[in-house]
Structure 1
Amino acid sequence: MRFTTVLATLVAAVAAAKDKRTFAVLHHYGQGPLTTCRADPIISPGGPSSHVHTVMGASNFGFNATGETLRQSKCTTAMAKADLSAYWFPTLYFQDPATKLLEPVKMFYMNVYYFFEPTHDDIKAFPVGLKMVSGNAMLRTPPATTGDNQLDPSKGPIQPVQMTCPRSSYDPPSWPADSKGLLAGIASQHDKGAGIGFPFEDCDGYASPLRVDIHFPSCYNPKAGLENYQNNMQFPTDAGDGKSDCPEGWIHTPHIFFETYWNTHELLPRFQSTLGKSSPFVFSNGDVTGFSAHGDFIAGWDEEELQHIIDTCNAGHAGIDTCPGLKYGANDPSDSCTIECPVDEKVDGKLEKLPGNNPLAGWAFGGGDILAPSPSPSPSPSPSPSSKPQPGNGDDNTPPNTTLIAIPSPSKRPSHHGHPHPNPKPSSSASSFSAAAVPAPSPKPSPKPVEPIVHVATVVDTVTVWETTTVYEDDLPAPTGAAEKHAARHYAKHAARRYHRR
């Protein structure tokens, strides 16, 4: 009788999960990312990618990583042991206004939200090897949307990325209210702390510096296949009753959402003079606007474990690793998982140019259609387990060595939006700068790239154990706002540790 009651309760919980959003956050642990590297096995399999990525996830990441090779990894940065997926995104750099030299911004930490949305469909685990890309790495000009997310394909162009910039005061605003994106970012219509493109102010909110948000589609077309990242995924469509469904014959998977925090605030003394005028930050692909925010994912989950999480877990911010009944359990948060990059080049320190020779483009540097630097010659694949390389065409159907930036048409932009966090009303404060009143600068010619000498190093899976001293939240000042409180839940764990190698 007891078993029957428990089973009935479980079935009811699974059914209810389709009527309201449930979620569980995938936390990562350790000292920094898995690697920071010019590698991208989706866009540029077989050799170096055009720009540097910050990589989280399983240790078999490399030039030719697949779901199957990731499943053979020795460790992962993910707290959930069953998740041997790979997650990566462009590295954020800082250009010192005084010296014009470039240096990487420290990644504060990363979360991946696993949302299980209201739907008439059955939500199924990602098949091993599913490849997804979200966002457009080629944008240097404003997207054809407002400053908010738009995730419903029936309501206009998809806008899956956004910036979040919590601040102690929004006067002046982070993004000008009248900006169309030609010389500055675009403010959200619903959240004073969010917009599209880099903000021109310092993100000084409690325990929450600049954050890049990336939503991924959750409808998989099995006819397109796991490898066809350009056509195999789309966002679900509003079914009209508070639920969103996939097209017939498609598979509804979890909706994943990257939150990547970058410690921009610690650099404030060096860009104080530029506040309200410009942004000193640039993605590793040369984008000074932030419009090209994007992320990549290869599924390496144990499918049975992920399905169990989908069907039974609503752990929220406590994390996937706390879900009841996990077969594999959680990793020790005091451990760390890191690998060497297979490209032997300098990606940190003070740099005169971005790795891959990507020219700065957008806003004051010029926009429009540009020709990005060609990727470096592809060396022999790394000796780690790999699959047969596939042709890499960038984030669209352009030729492999060409990146074009399309100028959006002046069509009316939709006002639809979507974001996982509550949005306060927009600020009524007047902007101290206006992008709309000044004509866009003429595009400047891109400098001729100089092909660097690329050395390929043997990839070695390494596991580093760290001892930590934790500063607890009781020792810190109290948060002052909703966004700050959200970030503060993770501050003591991720921001206040002192690591000691042993």
Structure 2
Amino acid sequence: MKHGSMVALSALAGSAAAFKYNDALTFSVMQFTGTEIRKARDDPIVNFGQTSSHVHQIMGGSGFSRTSTGADLLKSECTNARVAGDMSNYWFPAMFFKDPVTGQLESVPISYVNVYYHMDKTTDTIKAFPAGLSILVGDPTRRTAPEGGYTTNLDPSQGPVGNVRWTCPRSSYEPPSWPLDSDGTNAGMGEGNNGIGFPFMDCDGYASPLRGDIHFPSCYKPDVGLTDYKNNMAYPTSDGNGNLNCAKGEIHVPRMLLEVYFETSSVVPGKGFQDRWDHSTGKGPQPFLLSNGDTTGYGWHADFMAGWDEDVLQNIIDNCDVRHEGTHTCPGVTPNTATCTIKTLVDEDVDGPFSKLPGNNLLTGYGDKVQNGGGSSPSASSSASSAPSSSSSVSSVAPSSAAPSSAAPSSAPSSSSSSSQDFPYYPTKVVQNDAKPATTFEVVKSSSAVQDQPKIAAVDVVVQTVWHTVTVTADHSAESSEAAHVRRHVHGHRGNRHL
């Protein structure tokens, strides 16, 4: 299914020779028409056919499922990417707030998500992602500072790579966001508004709350394969002349930067959590944690499975340098203005308030050893055997040393019952269906263009559900042009933060 205009692409092909990403960095920002299409314990890369140990928020195409492949994504009936040809999926752990008074856990909403598509200055030819390419960046089990501490380096020839970061824009950096004397043992490390591990201060930069950044590698190893997410990617290295090149035999693909803005702080009355914890001293502790139980922020991570119309993406690579204007404004690209959601297989409370995380994930802090991203080992479902033979995605991401036996909660439900084998975690209720349900979709189409950095207002959706049928409603509200302008202004980046 080709979503781009073939006529437009053909017209651009003749001028492609004049466009040289090889001469300098070019980039454009993929934006989305809303927040997640699904929020659930699903992860087809690491836990193919299984229940994931922790909750993820998923962006992109409706072809996503626990057993999705690149071919499934290309059949998506809708996407919330603002480029119609991007049916890829991008997912990351949800964030929670632990109330200092009640101890209850509450979901932290997403403000918005961006994905920067960088085409580096290189002597390589940059190619579109092959459908099904699976990438995981970050370690869900990490509770200690990474080797090298805080660094912005992405060139492995220059030392440890700092590909997982947090950004905390603030109105004042006195006291600093991360303790200046931190060695990473009991607090994160950073300077200014960038660091590793959660900051100990409120991120009150207007319209720019706490942000999780993931810098993806851009050298694909075809001999390793699409689904071996542990070994199939590498970061390019400098040739000494300002070019970032991949090794021989590797395919240079776009370099992505995923930005997730969590609504930890807000100027909107009744939103944000800034008035519910003491951040006056900057000495911690802070109340935010990830769905894998990580209270440090070191276990921040993200996944990507490619589902691009390769002609559309190749056109963007070869012909587009619109930068912050958005990839949907690239020449020859068909913008997408529809929102998109997909239903889950399990009726599970993933927002709270509750006393335990979904998946019974223990809250773990600095120096703790964890496995499987923080939760109990998922039990294999009957569909797990259908995982691609070349994939290691059903293997645990745990380190070889297991967590202490005391890490397992005594009240954890048993997974031995066949009736609940696929959904053994608290607080899950199994949806009773006679057969494995087909995915159902709810598509909301906008009557007007979606504003930059959209924050979709509440929608009164009247949906008539027909099994495996797309349903459409008339309208939704986009944020005001003034609010969009503020987001664009605040989002302006200084220096080489995105490089």
1:484 Cα deviation after fit: 2.7
Contact kept, 8 Å, 1:230 with 1:395, in 2: the verdict is no
Q: Which residue of 1 aligns with 2:37?
A: 34
> Is 1:464 the counterpart of 2:464 in the alignment?
no
2:23 maps to amino acid: D
* Structure ranking higher on relative contact order (CA contacts 8 Å, 6+ apart): 1
Once the two structures are superposed, residues 51-109 of structure 1 have per-residue CA deviations (whole angstroms, 9 ceiling, x without a partner) of 00010000011100111001001000101010110100011111111111111101000
SS in 1 for 2:328: helix
Q: 2:56 aligns with which of 53, 64, 76?
A: 53
Contact kept, 8 Å, 1:135 with 1:292, in 2: the verdict is yes
After superposition, the Cα gap between the structure-2 partners of 1:290 and 1:394, relative to the gap in structure 1 and judged at 3 Å, is farther
> Is 1:126 the counterpart of 2:135 in the alignment?
no
Q: Which residue of 2 aligns with 1:486?
A: 492
2:289 maps to amino acid: V
Q: 1:374 aligns with which of 373, 376, 391?
A: 376
Q: 1:473 aligns with which of 463, 482, 485?
A: 482
Q: Which residue of 1 aligns with 2:114?
A: 111
Q: Which residue of 2 aligns with 1:249?
A: 249
Q: What are the within-5 Å matches in structure 2 for residues 279-428 of structure 1?
A: 279-326=286-333, 329-332=334-337, 335-363=338-366, 367-368=368-369, 372-381=374-383, 388=388, 392-393=393-394, 396=397, 398=399
* Range moving further from structure 2, 42-51 or 444-453: 444-453
SS in 2 for 1:305: helix
1:368 Cα deviation after fit: 4.2
SS in 2 for 1:43: coil
1:472 Cα deviation after fit: 2.5
> Is 1:218 the counterpart of 2:228 in the alignment?
no
Contact kept, 8 Å, 1:48 with 1:343, in 2: the verdict is no
Contact kept, 8 Å, 2:151 with 2:162, in 1: the verdict is yes
Q: Which residue of 1 aligns with 2:16?
A: 10
SS in 2 for 1:42: coil
After superposition, the Cα gap between the structure-2 partners of 1:250 and 1:273, relative to the gap in structure 1 and judged at 3 Å, is closer
Once the two structures are superposed, residues 15-37 of structure 1 have per-residue CA deviations (whole angstroms, 9 ceiling, x without a partner) of x311210001111003x210111
After superposition, the Cα gap between the structure-2 partners of 1:96 and 1:345, relative to the gap in structure 1 and judged at 3 Å, is same
SS in 1 for 2:224: coil
After superposition, the Cα gap between the structure-2 partners of 1:483 and 1:159, relative to the gap in structure 1 and judged at 3 Å, is farther
Q: Which residue of 1 aligns with 2:227?
A: 227
After superposition, the Cα gap between the structure-2 partners of 1:474 and 1:303, relative to the gap in structure 1 and judged at 3 Å, is closer
After superposition, the Cα gap between the structure-2 partners of 1:61 and 1:350, relative to the gap in structure 1 and judged at 3 Å, is same
1:387 Cα deviation after fit: 6.0
SS in 2 for 1:304: helix
SS in 1 for 2:57: strand
Once the two structures are superposed, residues 436-463 of structure 1 have per-residue CA deviations (whole angstroms, 9 ceiling, x without a partner) of xxxxxxx985534613356257331221
Q: Which residue of 1 aligns with 2:422?
A: none
Q: Which residue of 1 aligns with 2:23?
A: 19
Counterparts of 2:395 and 2:159 in 1: how far apart (Å)? 24
Once the two structures are superposed, residues 288-338 of structure 1 have per-residue CA deviations (whole angstroms, 9 ceiling, x without a partner) of 000011110000001111111100000111111111123xx1112xx3200
Contact kept, 8 Å, 2:121 with 2:243, in 1: the verdict is yes
Q: What are the within-5 Å matches in structure 2 for residues 76-155 of structure 1?
A: 76-155=79-158
After superposition, the Cα gap between the structure-2 partners of 1:370 and 1:252, relative to the gap in structure 1 and judged at 3 Å, is closer
1:395 Cα deviation after fit: 6.6
2:85 maps to amino acid: A
Counterparts of 2:403 and 2:158 in 1: how far apart (Å)? 26
Q: Which residue of 1 aligns with 2:452?
A: none
After superposition, the Cα gap between the structure-2 partners of 1:179 and 1:94, relative to the gap in structure 1 and judged at 3 Å, is same
Counterparts of 2:381 and 2:299 in 1: how far apart (Å)? 27
> Is 1:455 the counterpart of 2:437 in the alignment?
no
SS in 2 for 1:306: helix
Counterparts of 1:470 and 1:368 in 2: how far apart (Å)? 43
Counterparts of 2:484 and 2:125 in 1: how far apart (Å)? 45
Q: Which residue of 2 aligns with 1:198?
A: 198
1:198 maps to amino acid: F
Counterparts of 1:247 and 1:24 in 2: how far apart (Å)? 25
Contact kept, 8 Å, 2:370 with 2:398, in 1: the verdict is no
Q: 2:285 aligns with which of 257, 278, 285?
A: 278
Counterparts of 2:63 and 2:104 in 1: how far apart (Å)? 33
Counterparts of 1:222 and 1:404 in 2: how far apart (Å)? 34
SS in 2 for 1:154: helix
> Is 1:160 the counterpart of 2:163 in the alignment?
yes
Counterparts of 1:449 and 1:113 in 2: how far apart (Å)? 43
SS in 1 for 2:316: helix
After superposition, the Cα gap between the structure-2 partners of 1:242 and 1:362, relative to the gap in structure 1 and judged at 3 Å, is same
* Range moving further from structure 2, 70-79 or 154-163: 154-163
After superposition, the Cα gap between the structure-2 partners of 1:199 and 1:398, relative to the gap in structure 1 and judged at 3 Å, is closer
Contact kept, 8 Å, 2:111 with 2:263, in 1: the verdict is yes
2:313 maps to amino acid: L
1:148 Cα deviation after fit: 2.5
* Range moving further from structure 2, 297-306 or 448-457: 448-457
After superposition, the Cα gap between the structure-2 partners of 1:155 and 1:456, relative to the gap in structure 1 and judged at 3 Å, is farther
SS in 2 for 1:151: coil
Contact kept, 8 Å, 1:60 with 1:461, in 2: the verdict is no
> Is 1:183 the counterpart of 2:163 in the alignment?
no
1:349 Cα deviation after fit: 2.2
After superposition, the Cα gap between the structure-2 partners of 1:395 and 1:211, relative to the gap in structure 1 and judged at 3 Å, is farther
After superposition, the Cα gap between the structure-2 partners of 1:222 and 1:6, relative to the gap in structure 1 and judged at 3 Å, is closer
SS in 2 for 1:468: coil
Counterparts of 1:229 and 1:403 in 2: how far apart (Å)? 22
| Number of matched pairs | 426
Q: What are the within-5 Å matches in structure 2 for residues 250-269 of structure 1?
A: 250-265=250-265, 266-269=272-275
After superposition, the Cα gap between the structure-2 partners of 1:71 and 1:6, relative to the gap in structure 1 and judged at 3 Å, is closer
1:150 Cα deviation after fit: 2.5
Superposition CA RMSD, Å:
2.7
Counterparts of 1:22 and 1:197 in 2: how far apart (Å)? 30
SS in 2 for 1:70: helix
